[in-house]
Amino acid sequence: MRYFLHLAYNGSGFCGWQIQPNEPSVQESIEVALGHLLRQKIGVTGCGRTDTGVHASDYYAHFDFDEMSLEKLEQLRFKLNRYFTHEISILNIFKMKDEAHARFDAISRTYKYYVAEDKQPFNNDYSYYFGRKLDIEKMNEAAKCLFNYIDFTSFSKLHTQVNNNNCTILEAFWERKDGLLVFTISANRFLRNMVRSITGTLLDVGLGKITIEDFCRIIESKDRSLAGVSVPAKALFLHKLSYPRNIFEVI
C-alpha cells in the first residue's frame, strides 16, 4: 500500500532533502523515524530536491507499507511528530493509489523568496537583508521575460545530472508584503540553484546594474557566468505543490 506524507520543514540544519554522505538530510531523518516506528526498513521518495538551507512549507513524499487504518495512520503521524524536533512537522498521512508518485505526478511547484530592504531583527533567519532600495516595477517587467523561454541553463548549477535544462514558467512576480519584498515563481520543474540565481539576477535589474534587455540576453546566452549571484538559501521556501485532483481520490 502506498502512502503520502504531507510535511513541512525548516531546512537550516539540513543539507537539503536528499540523502548525502555524512550530512544530515530531511529524507534520512524521515526514513530513520519510519523504520524505527514501523520496525522495518522504509524508503521514502520526495517530490523533489531542496538545496542546503532551503525550507519547505508544503512538501510531499511517499512510502510503501502494509495497509493501515485511518486510526493507525493518525497514530503514526502523532508518533512521528513526537520523534522529530521542531525542524520537521508531519501535517498528514494518507493512503494513495499504488501508482501515485510524489515526484512524477506533481504538475507544478511554487517557491517564494523573501528580501528585506530594511533590517529585520525578528525575521533575519528567514529573509535576505539587502539593505538597498530596489525598482520593483523593473524587476516585475524583467520577470515577465521568463515566460518567453524554456531553456534556463544560465540559471542552473553546473554539471548536474539532468537530461535537459528546459522548464515551463507558470508565474513569476514581485510584491511588497508585511514589510518584505516577496518573489513568487512557479514552474513545472526547477533546476538546481535556479530560483536563487534568477532572484539574484532580478535584484541586479532592480539596482539598475543591468537592463531588462540584458536580463533576456543572459537567458539566451545559456552561460551561468553571466547571471547574477545566487542569493542566500535561508530566505527560500518551497511554498506549494500542485497535483492533479484525481490523484487524491479516496480509494
5-15, pLDDT tens digit by residue? 999 999 999 99
100-154, pLDDT tens digit by residue? 999 999 999 999 999 998 888 888 999 999 988 899 999 999 999 999 999 999 9
Contact assessment for residue 77 and residue 92, using Cβ atoms and an 8 Å cutoff? yes
pLDDT value at position 249?
64
What is the four-CA torsion angle of 175, 179, 180, 181, rounded to 10 degrees? 30
* Mean pLDDT of the region 50-69: 95
Average pLDDT taken over every residue of the chain: 93
The CATH number of the structural domain formed by 108-240 is: 3.30.70.660
Nearest to residue 25, comparing CAs of 33, 34, 15, 35?
15
pLDDT value at position 209?
96
Confidence of residue 250 (pLDDT cuts 50, 70, 90): low
pLDDT value at position 160?
63
- pLDDT at residue 63 greater than cutoff 60: yes
Single out the catalytic residue among 51, 118, 135, 223.
Answer: 51
pLDDT value at position 85?
85
pLDDT value at position 164?
87
- pLDDT at residue 231 greater than cutoff 80: yes
pLDDT value at position 159?
60
Packed helices 26-38 and 70-83: angle between N→C axes, nearest 10 degrees: 120
* Mean pLDDT of the region 41-68: 95
How many angstroms separate the CA atoms of 126 and 129, rounded?
A: 10
Q: What grid cell was written down for 226?
A: 553571466
Q: What grid cell was written down for 101?
A: 508518485
Domain extents for the chain? Answer: 2-104, 108-240
198-230, pLDDT tens digit by residue? 999 999 999 999 999 999 999 999 999 999 999
Is there a common fold for 2-104 and 108-240?
Answer: yes
What is the four-CA torsion angle of 62, 15, 157, 207, rounded to 10 degrees? 110
Q: Is 53 exposed, middle or buried (0-12, 13-18, 19+ CB in 10 A)?
A: middle
- pLDDT at residue 49 greater than cutoff 80: yes
Q: Pairing between strand 128-129 and 108-116?
A: parallel
**Is 51 labeled as catalytic in the residue annotation?**
yes
The CATH number of the structural domain formed by 2-104 is: 3.30.70.580
- pLDDT at residue 76 greater than cutoff 70: yes
pLDDT value at position 106?
96
146-195, pLDDT tens digit by residue? 999 999 999 998 766 677 889 999 999 999 998 899 999 999 999 989 99
